[in-house]
Amino acid sequence: MKIAPISNELFQRAQHSIPGGVNSPVRAFRAVGGNPRFMVSARGPYMFDEDGNQYIEFINSWGPMILGHAPEMVQKAVQDAIPNSLSFGAPTRKEVEIAELIISMVPSVEKVRMVNSGTEATMSAIRVARGYTGRSKIIKFEGCYHGHGDSFLIAAGSGAITLGVPDSPGVTKGVALDTLTAPYNNLEAVKTLVDANPGEIAAIILEPVAGNMGLVLPKPGFLQGLRQICDQDGIVLIFDEVMTGFRLAPGGAQELYGITPDMTTLGKIIGGGMPVGAYGGKKEIMDFVAPAGPVYQAGTLSGNPIAMSAGMAMLQHLQQNPGIYRQLEQTTTAIVSGMKANMQKLGLQYTINQVGSMFSIFFTDQPVTDFESAKTSDTALFGRYFNSMLQRGIYLAPSQYEALFVSTAITDELVAQYLKANFEALQEAQQQ
């Protein structure tokens, strides 16, 4: 792997015009050391940087590139749509068609509103839940990320019923007072919060499979328990499936686990990787959204015709080829099994979590079931491992606390190449 002088120069230059030199914090590589690589193109399983380096990559633009980069049917859909204009600010046929397609695929969605990002989707869903219930407070889970909306940037208090405090300057104490936090996978903590705030909880929002503290799976009964709590207390259950929607099954994690929320938020995959999001759910809840109802939400670029065309091509392909999910799981299981064998040969302590085509490695001997156990991972070792893999042409998420994603473009040959690099990188990181 060549060094990256052009990327280094661009990063230094970017810091004069962009805060921190990046447009999203994790890209700055601060959690792993070194400077970010600036990408110029991607196709299939590969990304290429400004210095001519090629990487086998396992970020997939944080999930949506489930078919690998630049799949032919998505490229064609975009090319066919571009001559008709890039934006109308008026309704189009594609918006109706993709809404109908999403409704047919996602169990909880009876009506859906298109937006421009996952963050916009979660912010809107919370507003609608509050408007529908007439209540103010929400419960979120430690380590679950729902975008950078004020309601979600709240740290946990010292106990299960302690009110949150702002986790970022610029988030007001007033907002924090309406956000309660609980440990992921802890039903008792949720029950305590609900009992301590009778008739005040509008919504419980969570990633049904957490992907932002590394990959953390729901314990058996956890999602079902939340469903029961919400049914008993008239609380809106929101699944944030920005990562897992159409990734773990055609109907997302809710199809995989058989638990139907009241509302669902979706993200990049419904635009084939283009900037897009959506929120949907029960008809009676979604009819509270303007102009059908009193809860205001709008967006000039919502339902952008280029993004809708890309998303239609992607979702139709996934719907028509359900065997993709079996292929993805088999490939990912081969990777994880090989990684476990490598770790055992080297005598390293580890936990690897996997579901379908998502996985995470934690350098800890503890099971990782929530944010506290995720934080027992040796992040310094992870940083060394990340950079050793990067030098071997394997591009991983530059943070311990991010899930990895496998695409259909990863072949058996690439799995073997990955596992060889994995063993060498682990050995090198262990010795440093």
Residue pLDDT, tens place only, 374-405? 999 999 999 999 999 999 999 999 999 999 99
Q: What is the mean pLDDT of the chain?
A: 93
As a whole number of angstroms, the distance between CA 255 and CA 252 comes to 6
Residue 164's pLDDT is what?
46
Least Cα distance to 315 among 86, 9, 99, 6 occurs for 99
Nearest 5 degrees, angle CA 239-CA 240-CA 243?
130
Please confirm, yes or no, whether 145 is among the known catalytic residues. Answer: yes
Catalytic residue among 51, 268, 350, 418: 268
Residue 63's pLDDT is what?
93
Q: CB of 286 within 8 A of CB of 145? A: no
Mean pLDDT of 46-73: 96
Residue 176's pLDDT is what?
77
Please confirm, yes or no, whether 140 is among the known catalytic residues. Answer: no
Give Cα 210 distance to the centre of its chain. 8
Domains of the chain: 5-70+322-431 (3.90.1150.10), 72-320 (3.40.640.10)
Q: CB of 202 within 8 A of CB of 130? A: yes
Q: Helices in 265-304 by DSSP H: which ranges?
A: 283-286
Indicate whether 285 pLDDT > 90. yes
Catalytic residue among 49, 55, 137, 145: 145
As a whole number of angstroms, the distance between CA 249 and CA 404 comes to 16
CA distances from residue 355 to 145, 216, 405 in whole angstroms, order as listed: 18, 9, 10
As a whole number of angstroms, the distance between CA 161 and CA 197 comes to 9
Least Cα distance to 340 among 330, 328, 331, 353 occurs for 353
Please confirm, yes or no, whether 231 is among the known catalytic residues. Answer: no
Indicate whether 162 pLDDT > 70. no
Indicate whether 3 pLDDT > 80. no
Catalytic residue among 49, 51, 178, 240: 240
Token pair of 71, please? 């799949």
Least Cα distance to 153 among 132, 122, 114, 125 occurs for 122
Least Cα distance to 264 among 415, 33, 132, 102 occurs for 102
Q: What is the pTM of this model?
A: 0.95
% of the chain with per-residue pLDDT over 90: 88
As a whole number of angstroms, the distance between CA 278 and CA 190 comes to 27
Least Cα distance to 138 among 72, 236, 46 occurs for 236
